[in-house]
Every structure is written in structure tokens, then in C-alpha cells.
Structure 1
């Protein structure tokens, strides 16, 4: 399976994904993953940035609101259409473009920084994508991205709960068995019962070990600068109880690396 085939799956999921995420059902993104990402993001005021795999543009808009000049790309036509419609209604001077992260249509040394929110793990040609990101960055420019944590996003994973329904452990297995396009079906866990009849998202999975990820980053020409594993506070979990399991293990890994 290549990036174009994966893009077709995302295009089929894009409309439902956009509707549900904008309705507030992507709780892990809105109240854990994205806030933690921006906590470690360097100052981007006045910088020229590229958002890779932007989806419907939620995080892209947050980048623009930080004062950056953003170009955003996604392989899904539906996602880009949704993002452009929002840009028309609420202009932030974001330039959206349908293209693959594996074939960036930009010259070398174009951008001061790049971001990728939970997108690089969904592209089979990871090495090529990271090399392309490095190519279009200026010298000393940085790439910051988030992925599902390789140590805990394994082919086998089971949430173990006590009698009160609280997670006390996550059972993982087959860590060294890389999935390469296996189709995963799932949905947002916070949907009301009236929406449980919605079709599940069907997404190809590509898993790699932590060492494979780090070595691919280095081989692409980056120097790793910071790692972060977000964990919600007790106050956040009190407000959003479904996030309690992400206090037990790290669901996400944030990496910032810089072009040498």
C-alpha cells in the first residue's frame, strides 16, 4: 500500500471525521494532545511554516493564530475542501493545497518550520516523507510532530479496568510486529448512544518501533531536539473522565527535530 492508496481511505473518512471532530467528540485531541503540542512549540510569530497532513485544518488555524504564515497540505480532497471553506468564512491567510507529504511541491529551503499533527504515522513511506520535510526546511529550521506512541500503539492492546471502570493498566503485545497497511476500524469513544450507528472509521495502520522512528528521523538529516509524552492533569481528567487512561500510559509522542 502506498501513500495514494492510503489517501483514498482518508478521503472516504474525511466528511464524518470533520463533522464529529468539529462537534467536540475528539476529546483526546482537544484536551490533551493539541494543548500539549503547543506547550512545547517554539515561538513561531512571523515565521513561514508548513503543516503536513492538515486534515480539516483545526490545528493549522491554531498555528496561524500564533502569528505564523502557514501553508497546509493534505492528500484528501474532502479535508482540503472543508479547510478552505472555513478559511473563506474566517480568513487567517492560510494557503491550503491538495498534495502528498511524500511528494512536496516546494523548493528547497522554503520554510522556517514544519508541523505534522498525528499524520506521519499514517503514511507508509515514512523515510521519504521526513526527507522531503527536511529538504523544504531552511537550515536550522525545525520539524515538530506528534504520533501515536510506538510503545503503546501496538497490534495487540487491551485496556484493563477495575470494578469501578478505571483503567489500571494497558496490556500491549506484538511490539516488534510492524503493521503495514492493516485496516483498523474504530470510532470516537465519547459519541452519545444515538450516534453509535454511524459507520466506523476505516484507517490503514503502519506501526514502527521507537528505535525505528528515531533512526528514520536521524537518517533524514535531522537532529532530535526534544521528546515529550503528554499526560493530562487531575483537573483535566475530572472535567473529561474518559482521559483517565492516558494517565496510566502515554498514548502520544511529540518529537521536535531540527535540520542540521
Structure 2
């Protein structure tokens, strides 16, 4: 799959994604992945950063409210258009650009830090994206990103539940790379009237193993500082019961590494 095709998929996903996520139905982002990401994020106040694969800018705006000076890129022109509109309404000094993660439009050693929230696993050339993040960082700068956990989000996965409500997962084909397999889904917390009205997301997936990710980071020159597997506490599950499954397996992997 080339990047023109990739951009087309995400432009098609963008309208429904923006509507549902801004309405609060992306509960795994809002109540698990993003809070955990910011818990481990170093202080970015006054630092210059780049957010890679920013989507409509939700997490980029959170970075800016932490005092960071942020550039953000996404391959989807519709996501960037929506992010720019929000920036005009609620200015935070963020500069948004339509660009590919594999060809960042910035000079070497431009940023103190880089982030990427749930983007890298959806790219055809993940190694090049990691290399680009390394290139635009200043020496000593850090790169923190989240992806679907490669050990549990495998090409074959099935959730099973018994009569008592106990949850488990079947996983398989872990060592089989996915090269653009299209997955169709929609936020499970959305009400039926929205699920019936809006199209499902169609998302290309490019599964790689955990060792592939770690070895790729090392091979481009990064030193790995921290691995984190977010886990919802009991209060989060009481508030959002659909998070219960994330107490059985790790849905997300968060990594911080340094140039």
C-alpha cells in the first residue's frame, strides 16, 4: 500500500472519527491510553515538539496546554483541516501541516521531543517513520509513542466471555506480518443510532512483533528509557465498564526512547 492510498483511507475515516471522538465515545483514548501517556511524559514546558500522526489534534492540544511549543503533522488533509479550525477557535500556538510521517518537512535536529499517539502501527514503512523521528530530534531529545500492543493485537484475535462474565482472548499469527490488512470497526461506546448512521472505520493494519519494534528503535540509534502497558484501575472500569477487557490483556504499548 502506498501513502496516497493510506491518505485516502484516513480521509474517508475522518468525518465519523471526528464526530464520535469529540462526542466522547473514544473511551480507550480518553480514560486509559492518553491519561497513562501523560502520566509518564517528561516535563515539556517551554520545549519545542512535534506530534506525528496528530489526527484532528486532540492529544496535540493537550501537549500545548502543558506548555509545549508544538508542530503537528498528519497524512489526512481532512484531519488537519479540522485541527486548524479548532486552533483558530481556541488558539494554542500549534502549527498543523499535511505531511507523511516517513518524510517530515523539518530540518535535522529541530525538536526537543517528538510524540506519536496510536499512529505508527498504521504505517506501511514504520522503520522509515522511526528514522524520521530520530532525524528531526536534537541530540538528547526524546521520542514517546503509543501503539496497539503487538503481543495481543495480533492478525488473529478473538475475545471470549463465559456465562459469569469472565473475559479472555485468543490470539494467533503473531509472527505473521500484516501489510495493509483492512480492519473495520467503530467505537463500541457509541449509541446505536450513531453506529447505524455513520460508516465503520476502515483502517489498514501493518502488524509487527514486539522484538521488531525494539530492534528497529535500537538500529536507528535510539536508547530505550521506558516501556509502559496502561492498565485501568477499578474506578475507571466502574465509570466505563467496557474498559474491563483491558484488565485482562494490555491493549496498548507506550515507549519512551532518547536520541
Q: TM-score, normalised by structure 1?
A: 0.98
Residue 250 of structure 1 corresponds to which residue in structure 2? 250
Moved over 4 A (4+): none
Match runs of 1:37-186 below 5 Å: 37-167=37-167, 169-186=168-185
Unaligned runs of 5+ in 1: none
SS at 1:180 equivalent: coil
Q: Which moved more, 1:184-193 or 1:226-235?
A: 184-193
Q: Secondary structure at the match of 1:191?
A: coil
**Secondary structure of the structure 1 residue equivalent to 2:153:** coil
2:180 aligns to what SS in structure 1?
A: strand
Please state how far the C-alpha of 1:147 moved relative to its aligned partner. 0.1
1:16-55 deviation digits (Å, cap 9, x = unpaired): 1011000001000000000000000000000000000000
Instruction: Please tell me whether the aligned partners of residues 55 and 76 of structure 1 are also in contact (alpha carbons under 8 angstroms).
Output: yes
Q: 1:177 deviation in Å?
A: 0.8
Q: Deviations over 1:43-68 (max 9, x none)?
A: 00000000000000000000000000
The one-character-per-residue Cα deviations of 1:71-100 (angstroms, maximum 9, x if unpaired) are 000010000000000000000000000110
**Cα deviations by residue, 1:168-194 (Å, 9 ceiling, x for unpaired):** x11101101111001111111111122
Task: State how far apart, in whole Å, the 1-side matches of 2:235 and 2:37 are.
Answer: 18
Unmatched runs of 5 consecutive residues or more in structure 2: none
Q: CA shift at 1:166, angstroms?
A: 4.1
After superposition, the CA RMSD in angstroms is 0.8
